[in-house]
Amino acid sequence: MDKIGVMVCGHGSRSNEAVMEFANAVKQIPDYLPKEWELEFGYLEFANPVIRKGLDGLREKGCTKILAIPGMLFAAMHVKNDIPSVLNSYSKEHSIPIQFGKELGIDPKLLEASAQRIREALDMENADDSIPLSETCLVVIGRGASDPDANSNVSKVARLLQEGMGFGWCEVGYSGVTFPLVEPCLEHVTKLGYHKVVVFPYFLFGGILIDRIYGFTDLVAQRNPEIQFLKASYLNDHPLVLEVFADRAKDILSGDTAMNCSLCKYRTNVLGFEDEVGMKQESHHHHVEGQGASAPGSNVQNCDLCDDFCSGACRLQHTHDHENGHHHYGDHDHQHDHHHHPYPHSKHPLGPESVRKYLKD
C-alpha cells in the first residue's frame, strides 16, 4: 500500500498577511482528510516554502505517492502550465509518482461560502436594511487573468450568486490584467441608479489585491456619498472552502481530475487567442521562487507611486520610465523580467490603462 501525501500548491504573495492566511487554512485541511495521509504546502512564487520544499517534506515523511492540488480558484496559466511543470520536473528527478488534481473551480460549497460572506456584509451594523436585495447591486471582483476561460468563470459565479440570492443587478470586475478593473467597474455601477452596492472579492485570501479592491471601493464611495457601498469579506478559511480543498485531493483517487478544457486557449482556437494553441508547458516563475514576502514592491511604504493602497500603477511604470530615460522594477502583485505571451487587450481603456492617471512624474 502506498503512503499518500497531499501537496497543496499555492500561488504565493509578497504580502505577509496573504501568506499567513494561506498557511493557516492549509494547516486545517487534514481535519477533512484520512488520518493516515500526510500534508505539506508550498508556493509557486515569492513566498517560502517553495513547492519543491513541500515535496521534499512529503518524501522525508515516507510518502510514496503524492496527490498535488492547486490552491487556486480557477485554472489559468499558473494551474495549466507553471505548477504542472514544477511537479513533472520533481517527479522525474526523484522517481516518485505525483498526480495533479483540478482547481477548486465552481463548486456548490464555494457558492454557499460566498453567499455567507455576502450576507455578513448585508448584516453589518451600518447596512441600510430598508433597501431590499431586489434594489441592491452585487459587484463580484475576480483576480483577472490573461485566460478568457478563467475570467469567464468569475462571471458565472457572479450570475449564480445574483440569481440565487435575488440581487437586482450584478456587475463583474477584476483586480488586474484584464478589464474592467475595479475602479471603472464601480464607476459604471454608480450610473445604474442603485443606492446600495455590495462589493464581494471572489478571492481565497487577503493581500495587496484585496487592499486594492477595498481601496478603490472607498475612493468611488467618497465620490458618490448618496450610494452605500458595503465591502464583503473574501472566502479565507471558511469551513466549506477547506472541505473543497480536501475534496479535490480525494477526487484524484477516483480519477476526477479533468479541468474544463473545452475553452482552454492552449488547446482550442478561442476567439482572439488563436496563436496560443499548443504553447509549451513550462514554468515562468523560477526567478521569483522563495523571494520572500518582504521583497521590494510588497507594500505601499516603499513605493513612490501609491499613498494608501496599491493602485496597480506600477504595472505601467516600465513604459512610463522608458519614455523618461530611467527604470523601475517594482510591481506589487506580479514582477517579471521574462517574456509572457502578450495579452491582446492589454491596452483596453478599462483595463490596466485605467490606472495610468495614478502615475507620478
Instruction: Give the residues across from 231 on adjacent strands.
Output: 199
**Sole residue written with cell 483596453:** 348
pLDDT in tens, 3-35: 999 999 999 988 888 999 999 999 999 999 999
Which H or E run includes 208?
Answer: helix 208-223
| Grid cell digits, residue 201 | 472579492
In 3D space, the residue among 196, 189, 199 whose CA is nearest the CA of residue 139 turns out to be 199
CB neighbours of residue 245 within 10 Å: 24
Using the 8-state DSSP alphabet, how is residue 343 labeled? P
Concatenated DSSP letters for 1-67?
-PPEEEEEEE---S-HHHHHHHHHHHTTGGGGS-TT-EEEEEESSSSSSBHHHHHHHHHHTT-SEEE
pLDDT in tens, 76-118: 777 888 999 999 999 999 999 999 999 999 999 999 999 999 9
**Sole residue written with cell 471572489:** 202
pLDDT of residue 279: 78
Q: Max alpha carbon distance in the chain (Å)?
A: 64
β-strand pairing of 98-100 with 137-142:
unpaired
> Are residues 104 and 76 in contact, defined by beta-carbon separation less than 8 angstroms?
no
Average pLDDT of the residues in 140-165 = 95
CA-only gyration radius of the chain, Å: 21
Q: Report whether pLDDT(191) > 90.
A: yes
| Grid cell digits, residue 327 | 527604470
Percentage, residues of the chain above pLDDT 70: 86
Average pLDDT of the residues in 150-170 = 97
> Are residues 345 and 176 in contact, defined by beta-carbon separation less than 8 angstroms?
no
pLDDT of residue 46: 85
Exposed (0-12), middle (13-18) or buried (19+): which is 174, by Cβ within 10 Å?
buried
d(CA 97, CA 275): 33
Using the 8-state DSSP alphabet, how is residue 306 labeled? -
| Grid cell digits, residue 78 | 499558473
pLDDT of residue 227: 98
**Counting every residue, how long is the chain?**
361
pLDDT in tens, 320-358: 443 344 333 334 444 444 456 789 998 999 999 999 988
| Grid cell digits, residue 148 | 478568457
Q: Report whether pLDDT(290) > 60.
A: no
Its pTM stands at: 0.88
**Residue 188 vs residue 263, higher pLDDT:** 188
- For domain 108-231, the CATH class is alpha beta
Average pLDDT of the residues in 188-195 = 98
Residues of the chain with CATH 3.40.50.1400: 4-105+238-253, 108-231
In 3D space, the residue among 214, 256, 309, 223 whose CA is nearest the CA of residue 107 turns out to be 256
Q: Report whether pLDDT(282) > 70.
A: no
In 3D space, the residue among 330, 233, 285 whose CA is nearest the CA of residue 9 turns out to be 285
Phi, psi of 331 (to 5 degrees): -155, 115
When the candidates are 3.30.420.40, 3.30.70.590, 3.40.50.720, 3.40.50.1400, the CATH number that belongs to 4-105+238-253 is 3.40.50.1400
Chain-centroid distance, C-alpha 190? 25
